[in-house]
Amino acid sequence: MSTHAVVRDDDYVIDQNWVGYTADDHAVWDFLYRRQRTILADRADEALLRGHEALNLNRGGIPDFAVINEELKARTGFTVVAVPGLVPDEVFFNHLANRRFPAGQFIRGRHQLDYLQEPDIFHDVFGHVPLLTNPVFADYMEAYGKGGLRALQFGKLKNLAALYWYTVEFGLIETAKGLRIYGAGISSSKDESIFALDAPSPNRLRFDLERVMRTEYRIDDYQQSYFVIRSYEDLIRATLDQDFAPLYQRLADGISHLPEAILPTDQVVTAGTQAYARAKASGEVI
């Protein structure tokens, strides 16, 4: 979700060209799928795990969009479309507003199994697409797309992007079994899946819409704070069911919170030690 310099006047959709993937590409998918499923078994929200299974994402190799779209469309009306990589914000919002999820066509190579900057097909299809089988979450994503087009008009994209970041990408959810992962940035990452739930370092704070929309975020490292929702219905109530116009007016005061901040008004689930961020800053961790 960032802007490319080249402006094209199309929707950026390309053919997935499934037959063009190599045996190695398929092997990378299978490896990553198995590795993440093992890590996520007791860490991811049921809705995400059931989504992987509903779409049968381990039928062998990289999923063929034509095949998974049949199941996805039947469940929520969403489809996955292939794009070359990141697309301009407006294009991204437009797809979501029309219940299409734009997914990177390419897969990472063997030399970058653990981390890469651009969203590839594993991040997008293993991380994001499974929750689109959930009707409530699907509604949230469509509304987010519409809200994005609106945020552009208000000049408040940065704030809306923070909402995406701390929910769709890095969200945690409270369940009867304890905290669980639902954000795709976490669930598609080997190390952050463990860090986000198990490490003493990060804060885990209750989700509050305005608070989140005022919070800075890091795109190049683990998060210093994660925000915890109680349910997807709660997330919908706080977003889809609210008119953001008054909120955008209030945000004009420009107050922004650091990623590691704990405010007096926060409901703290766990206060982080920030040991990881400190070690990193002093060069102890590379």
**Site for ligand PHE, rule CB under 6 A:** 140, 143-144, 147, 150, 163, 239-240, 242-244
Torsion of CA 275, 279, 280, 282, to 10 degrees: 140
Q: Could you tell me the smallest distance in angstroms from the CB atom of residue 180 to ligand PHE?
A: 21
Q: Which is nearer to Fe ion, 192 or 248 (CB)?
A: 192
Least distance CB 164 / Fe ion (angstroms): 8
Q: Which is nearer to ligand PHE, 12 or 144 (CB)?
A: 144
Q: Smallest distance, Å, CB 138 to ligand PHE?
A: 12
Taking the least distance from each CB to ligand PHE, the nearer of 116 and 240 is: 240
Which of these, 56, 49, 50, 55, lies nearest to 78 by C-alpha position?
55
Retrieve residue 129's tokens.
Answer: 């697409």
What, of Fe ion, ligand PHE, none, does residue 10 touch, CB below 5 to 8 Å by kind? none
Binding mask 171-190 for Fe ion (x = CB under 5 A): -------------x------
Q: Is 19 helix (H, G, I), strand (E, B) or coil?
A: helix
Q: What's at 45, amino acid-wise?
A: D
- Which partner, Fe ion, ligand PHE, none, binds residue 270 by CB below 5 to 8 Å per kind? none
Give residue for tokens 């594993």.
Answer: 122
Going by C-alpha positions, the residue among 45, 55, 57, 50 that lies closest to residue 182 is 45
Considering the complex, what minimum distance in angstroms separates the CB of residue 163 from ligand PHE?
6
Phi, psi of 69 (to 5 degrees): -65, -30
Query: CB 27: neighbour CB atoms within 10 A?
Result: 14
Q: Which residues bind Fe ion (CB under 5 A)?
A: 119, 184
